[in-house]
Amino acid sequence: MKVKKKKALKTKSPKLTSSSTTKVSADQTHNQYRNILGSRYASPAMSAVFSERHRAEIWRDLWIILASEEQKLGLPISSAQVEALKKAKKDIDFDRIREIETKLKHDVMSHLKAYAEKAKEAEPIMHLGATSAFITDNADALLLKEGAVLILQKLGVILESLGSLMLTYKNLETTGFTHFQPAQPVTVGKRFALWAQDLLWDYEELEFALQRLEPLGCKGTTGTQASFAVLFKNDFKKVKALDDGVCKQMGFDRAVALSGQTLSRKVDVWFLQALANLGASFSKMSYDMRLLQHLREVTEPFAEKQIGSSAMPYKQNPMLAERITGLSRFLMGLSSNANWTFATQWLERSLDDSSNRRLTLPEAFLTADALCESAHRLLKGVQVHKTEIKNRIDIYAAQFETEALMMEGTLKGGSRQKIHEEIRQQMLKGKLNKKGIKYSLSGFASEQVQDFHKNILSPFLKSRKKSKGVSFNAAAI
């Protein structure tokens, strides 16, 4: 099936680079499994964040930062050695790394040895006092940060779109549904506002995880900084200065206070749970859209040459909404991995986390990104069909008036319960007729939307546009 290339939601993001220096022919690429998230659903920007090259460059940044900070604190490391590391940073030979790893069976040491071959002068002082976790966990903290910022940028754009839609349709009354049976009217704008409120809460939760993220820093083999105690001759102030200095060069205020060999896997729980909750909100939105499209009241965009069914040419299926449903289900399922990984770590560390985290962390962020991309496309082209909406309101108008009639009758001295039974009997006998009431069928739905937008959503978006590192601009899409 030929897939039309989608236009990615425009945000500030890392440049997309090749994940390997090895040239692969077109034929070879179709003979191996490729992650569908990267090749079909997620944006190039998020794929770049979790690419092999980007991760390798971060690892080299960390080796440079470590040597630079150790030199500042008096260790015998020359400026020439630090410069050698910087000069060779971009010269990454992935074929050579894989060749070394076939013998060493250790990814960090393979990267280290390949780097040392390019920066020979610095080889004696590379990775001084550090463990593999210094490289992997500090890099993961940076990747979590980059991924979260990109999701927040896209969520901001989506919230702006919903803000515009809710105001446009705040007065348009539509049939409400409870149990997917006709119920008292709401407004189309109120439904957009409800989606926005859920996503706003998800934004806050992911933002909170990001705000309290602290990297591992320099903690040593079991978290005691024993190797650095030797290097700095038991000078704890210098060891603490190294810990803080490394983290500040990484863009954080400080390192985590305590750790074993690794950063607590509880951090993964924060982020994957926040992303899972985001997935749940998108799932709710997608089910609402699928139901509304069935009613032909609100439909997703359908391209001029888009095909809905290979067998039924007339079909216009809710492809985007169904994709959101499926991807959300996958994302929600990933969060349990983080809980299990954290819950089963042994004492100062075990290695059963490594293979699981290599899968779940990138896939969670790529899936969340794909959801944002699909939701953005859906909302940007959403169609509201006023004639269908009015027709359904007219069909059930007599029933919808009954709530107001019960309230009016009670205010005039009647029994609410007796009036309820009288109306129920009239409905069962088919004698319920439209009377015309002076009250809005949708109550204060319009005012609620206006209040939510003015006092909650708009101030929230304005404050986040000014926040450091997470600015977004809907006009740039």
Separation between Cα atoms, residue 15 and residue 156, nearest integer Å: 21
Cβ atoms of 263 and 252 closer than 8 Å:
no
Q: Give the active site residue among 18, 39, 309, 354.
A: 309
Which residue of the set 179, 310, 355, 463 is catalytic? 179
**Closest of 399, 429, 375 to residue 178, by C-alpha:** 399
- Pick from 205, 337, 169, 369: nearest CA to 265: 337
Whole-angstrom distance, CA of residue 157 vs CA of residue 143: 22
Q: How many residues does the chain have?
A: 477
Cα angle for residues 360, 17, 24 (degrees, 5° grid): 90
Q: Which helix or strand (DSSP H or E) is residue 184 part of?
A: strand 181-187
CA dihedral 422, 424, 425, 431 (to 10 degrees): 100
Helix ranges, 251-315 (H): 266-295
Phi and psi at residue 374, in whole multiples of 5°?
Answer: -70, -40
Q: How far is residue 60's CA from residue 171's CA, in Å, rounded to a whole number?
A: 56
Nearest Cα to 392, choosing from 193, 189, 180? 180
**What are the residues whose beta carbons fall under 8 Å from the beta carbon of 399, sequence distance 6 or more?**
182, 427, 432
Distance between CA 257 and CA 215 in Å, rounded? 10
Distance of CA 171 to the CA centre of its chain: 32
> Has 309 been annotated as catalytic?
yes
Q: For residues 158 and 200, what is the distance between their CA atoms, to the nearest angstrom?
A: 10
Asked if 106 is an active-site residue, the reply is no
Alpha helices, DSSP H only, in 13-78?
Answer: 26-29, 36, 44-49, 52-72
Report the C-alpha gap between 275 and 264 in whole angstroms. 19
SS3 173: strand
Integer Cα distance of 265 and 280 in angstroms: 23
Q: Provide the strand spans (E) within 375-437.
A: 383-384
What's the token pair of residue 200?
Answer: 């706003």
Query: Cα separations (Å) of 312 from 263, 308, 309, 315?
Result: 54, 8, 5, 6
Catalytic residue set:
179, 309
